[in-house]
Amino acid sequence: MTKTYQKNDTAIAKLDELQFQVTQQCGTERPFDNAYWDNKAAGLYVDVVSGEPLFTSLDKYDSMSGWPSFTRPLEASNIQEHSDETLGMARTEVRSKHADSHLGHVFPDGPIDQGGLRYCINSASLRFIAKSDLETEGYAEYLPLFDESKKSNTNNAQVAILAGGCFWGMEELFRKQPGVIDTRVGYTGGHIPDVTYKDVKTGTTGHAEGIEVTFDPEKTSYRAILEFFFMAHDSTTKNRQGNDVGDSYRSAIFVLNSEQAAVATDLIKELDASGILPGPVVTEVVKAGEFYEAEPEHQDYLQHYPTGYTCHWVRQDWALKK
């Protein structure tokens, strides 16, 4: 069952004076004198009004500003950004989507190796839910994020290379899947070496916008990765996803060995036989070649630009029956 988050009078009435001033009147709490600026516990930070998930301790760092600081949101779709010139300077305000709470601002001075952004957030806008309380509080789906065994078990990691349209949206969906250790986007399946985004956009290099998914085989499987892949994009339309048209947006599975090839072809046969898709699968199953990593600005794109373009979503009714 999908959890809903909303703003209501009952939740507003429960706010203390500072929480109301910050979330409803765009106030700012004092630095170094707030609940979470130095909180190092593992868990989620949710909107104090609606409970919508916003940030995680995994992306929190000490910016020396005196306010909780994060390199990226947990759920980019729950974050909205607005231009703010109230202090005579151009800033980017951050608000929650469902509660429309003022959260703080985002600045381009965060850790370079983590995207370069600093989400400077008021503690008064947040409620912290410790890792140990996630299940009882209704956030059990986020427990895999804090799975220490997943973090340490990288020696046996496996890789899936997929193409299913614009890689921005694909990466955003895959990065949160249980068992996924890492993702990166790039270009593959073409005939020209060392390509760039500009090259691929010409449509003459033969490359597809791809995603490399590194996963822990003890937490998930190659088949499970592919099953999600077929739910996350339209595999029945050739060279197109949404408004994006061209062979760089084709559906393809780039297999690394014969075992992956067998899993992919068997799954496609099952999908075609099931009748759950709107048409026959046109996904290519081809031997993997060179994967050229995309430019830094394309990595984790929707984490850095939550309102950026995407044409991807998960179709639950496209899942094979177990």
Cα gap 282→259, rounded to integer Å:
20
- Render the burial of 224-238: b for 16+ CB within 10 Å, e for the rest: bbbbbbbbbbbbbbe
* pLDDT score recorded for residue 21: 97
Q: Are 216 and 303 in contact (CB under 8 A)?
A: no
Among 54, 218, 207, 222, CA closest to 125: 54
Q: What is the mean pLDDT of residues 58-64?
A: 91
> How confident is the model over 297-319, as pLDDT tens digits?
899 888 888 888 899 888 988 98
Q: Is the pLDDT of residue 152 over 60?
A: no
Given pLDDT bands bounded at 50, 70 and 90, which one contains residue 1? very low
Q: Any idea of the CA torsion for 125, 129, 135, 139, to the nearest 10 degrees?
A: 30
For position 111, what pLDDT does the model report? 84
pLDDT at residue 156 in the model: 83
Is the pLDDT score of 285 beyond 90?
yes
**Which residue segments constitute the domains of the chain, with CATH numbers given?**
9-141 (2.170.150.20), 147-318 (3.30.1060.10)
Q: What is the pLDDT of residues 123-142, one digit of tens each?
A: 999 999 999 999 999 999 99
3-state secondary structure of 109: coil
- Whether 189 has a pLDDT exceeding 90, the answer reads yes
Q: What is the mean pLDDT of residues 177-197?
A: 93
Q: What is the pLDDT of residues 242-259, one digit of tens each?
A: 989 999 999 999 999 999
- Partners of 255 in the β-ladder: 287
Report yes or no: 55 and 104 within 8 Å, Cβ to Cβ.
no
How confident is the model at residue 50, as a pLDDT? 96
Measured on CA atoms in the order 169, 307, 301, 131, is the torsion positive or negative? negative
- Residues noted as catalytic: 120, 166
Choice between 5 and 103, residue whose per-residue pLDDT is larger: 103
